[in-house]
Amino acid sequence: MNPSIAFPIWKRRYLLLMAALLYCGGTNGWMHYKGQWNAFTVQVYLANSSLAGSLLLGYMGFAAWDDKNHMNACVQDRRRRRQEPDEPETEQ
């Protein structure tokens, strides 16, 4: 594989996603533990749930998109290398 085509850094993305999901889950769990529901806490709960869902779906969708772009770049690089001659022909 061509080293100029870098594979995306998935560990960092995964850690950021897990940190955000833990934050959303932690705050929602804390609100359930306290059990004091009013209009504000319900809105925070819904916002955290929406944030967690959109992050998860976005992560999966953009991961598939990014992998597709990476594979296309690898295929194009492979095609380009096949078309180029390995050694230049010398004229005599």
Side-chain half-sphere exposure of 44, counting CA atoms within 13 A = 16
Domain count, the chain: 1
Residue 2 lies in a domain: no
Residue 91 lies in a domain: no
Residue 87 lies in a domain: no
Please tell me the pTM assigned to this model.
Answer: 0.59
Residue 19 lies in a domain: yes
pLDDT at res. 28: 92
Q: Tens digit of pLDDT for each residue in 30-85? A: 998 988 899 999 999 999 999 999 988 888 777 666 666 667 777 777 777 777 66
Query: In the 8-state DSSP scheme, what is residue 35?
Result: -
Q: Are 59 and 17 in contact (CB under 8 A)?
A: yes
pLDDT at res. 7: 60
Enclosing H/E stretch for 51 = helix 39-83
Averaged over 8-29, what is the pLDDT? 86
Query: In the 8-state DSSP scheme, what is residue 86?
Result: S
Q: Are 75 and 2 in contact (CB under 8 A)?
A: no
Token readout for 25 is: 């889950």
Q: Which domain holds residue 56?
A: 10-78
Range with the poorest average pLDDT among 8-12, 20-24, 34-38: 8-12
